[in-house]
Structure 1
Amino acid sequence: MARGTGQQTRSEAVHDRIRADILGGRLRPGERLKFPELSERYGVSTGAVREALLKLVAKNLVSSEAHHGFQVTDLTERGLADLTDTRTEIESLALRRAIGEGDLAWQGQVLAAHHTFEQTPLAGEDGDEPGEAWLIAHADFHTALLAGCANPRLRDLAASLREEAELYRRWLRPTPGAHDPADPAGHDEHRELLDAVMTRDSERADAALRRLIGFTAEMVLDTESPA
């Protein structure tokens, strides 16, 4: 029993590290993920690496093909279109449920997460946009929005789709005009979404969320030099 628990713990730890390296750009889209190299890199057994990769396959951050092994999910415009369509429908449903089921404490959580997000600079310390702190604050706000939904499976599915979208966000560059130059972080849209949640206006919230998710679809994949 203890051995199984230890193996599970190691698998979860390496899962978190591989996920962070993928979302952080240290493992690039399309990069092959070989057991011996990952085992040495993270200091765990190949069994723990395999378990971690299988979990990441379920989250669509890693792909697997027979006779080709595992690789970081490659990014395509078709994949982005399908992801955006699915994510829009699932998150919209979860948000509507959250507005109908969430209590006052949930609204307070959303308000606090939005305040942190709005006060977080878009650019990171190295001048890159968006910065790590902004990405975290942005993800936390969207997580808080759906926390009022009472269905944990729906929340988990929405979170998985949003995390896959973050992989695209890391490697896509905005199309000129996709955001208002005066509001590159989309704060106006996020405020609109916040106001709709505070007044429990599900129609208005749905429209604002769909616009925000649509921004990702307006990005163009830079296949030659991801940045």
Structure 2
Amino acid sequence: MLARIRADVLNGRLVPGSRLGFADLGLRYEVSTGVLREVLPRLVEQGLATSEAQLGFRVVDVSVDRLSQLTDARVAIDTLVTRQAVIDGDIAWEGDVIAKHHALTRVGEAAADDDISEEWLRAHEAFHRAILEGCHNGYLVETAERLRSISVVYRCWTRPASERAHRDLDHEHREIMEATVARDGDTAVRLTEAHIRRTTELLISGREAAEASAP
């Protein structure tokens, strides 16, 4: 059930900022309130929802300002963790990074224009997580992963086909992987920051294009 709701949040079927009421979700997913009481706090833990007393649960809200702040936070944390991973990671870690990159390239992007492939999202997260997990500071890794999870919500602003048309993700991931396993911390950090900021630029331009074309 968590996977279904999470996929609907990431694809914008559950709109950012919208209320996650037990009655509505129960009807939508044909599940009990008890199940939802277990699932929704996990969405909050992942940064995909918020919870306030008397107001209940809501999908995390999004805006250009929030995205800009999130991007700066991700750059600060991801580059720190990546640099430390290059220092701390062992041979088994190198092998895992290479394996996860291979899996990502085999999955490819989603064929449909309207949805993000859940399989690709999992492979993408697994690849970046594999790099970060070379860092021996679990608190930093956990923080980086939570920020990454929140950032995926912003994919609802644009579509995978649009992103594919403006960048070569395979090449970006390959360069990051090669710099990482080569223990080239400076290059890995530079590529990681460029990767994150390029995503933000495309998300914002996609949002602006959507607003400009709206009736």
User: TM-score, with normalisation over the residues of structure 1?
Assistant: 0.78
Gaps of 5+ in 2: none
Describe the shift of the 1:223–1:130 C-alpha distance in structure 2 as closer, same or farther (beyond 3 A): same
Change in 2 beyond 3 A, CA 1:119/1:128: farther
Q: Which residue of 1 aligns with 2:200?
A: 217
Any conservation in 2 of the 1:196–1:204 contact (CA below 8 Å)?
Answer: yes
Higher relative contact order (CA 8 A, sep 6+): 2
Let me know the Cα RMSD of the aligned residues: 2.9
Partner of 1:103: 90
Deviation at 1:38, TM superposition (A): 2.5
Paired with 1:42 and 1:130, the residues of 2 have a C-alpha distance of 20
Contact 2:44 2:51 in 1 (8 A): yes
Aligned to 1:195: 178
In 1: Cα distance, 2:119 partner to 2:2 partner: 21
The within-5 A match list for 1:86-165 is 86-124=73-111, 126-128=112-114, 130-165=116-151
Structure 1 or 2: larger helix share? 2
Secondary structure in structure 2 of the residue aligned to 1:19: helix
Deviations 1:194-227 (A, max 9, x none): 111121011110000000000221022246999x
2:16 counterpart SS class: coil
Q: In structure 2, what is the equivalent of residue 22 of structure 1?
A: 9
Q: Distance in 1 between matches of 2:109 and 2:86?
A: 28
Equivalent residue letter for 1:136? R
Does the 8 Å contact 1:33/1:70 carry over to 2?
A: yes
Per-residue CA distance 1:94-151 (angstroms, 9 max, x = gap): 1112111111111111111111222333232x34575333322222211111121112
Task: Report the Cα offset of residue 167 of structure 1.
Answer: 1.0
TM-score w.r.t. length of structure 2: 0.82
Amino acid at match of 2:79: S
CA, structure 1 residues 108+212, in 2 after alignment: closer, same or farther (shift >3 Å)? same
What is the SS of the residue equivalent to 1:112?
helix
In 1, Cα distance between the equivalents of 2:137 and 2:12? Answer: 32
1:59 aligns with 2:46: yes
The count of residues paired between Structure 1 and Structure 2 equals 208
How much does 1:69 deviate?
2.9
CA gap of 1:130–1:215, structure 2 versus 1, over 3 A, is: farther
> CA 1:180–1:17 in structure 2 vs 1: closer, same or farther (change >3 Å)?
closer
Contact 2:10 / 2:155 at 8 angstroms: preserved in 1?
no
Q: Percent same amino acid at aligned positions? A: 42
Determine the C-alpha separation between the residues in 2 that align with 1:209 and 1:32: 34
When residues 169 and 163 of structure 1 are mapped into structure 2, their CA distance, relative to the original with a 3 A threshold, is same
Shift of the alpha carbon at 1:83?
A: 0.8
Long gaps (5+) in structure 1 = 1-13
Give the Cα–Cα distance (whole angstroms) in 2 for the partners of residues 156 and 135 of structure 1: 18
**1:186 corresponding residue in structure 2:** 169
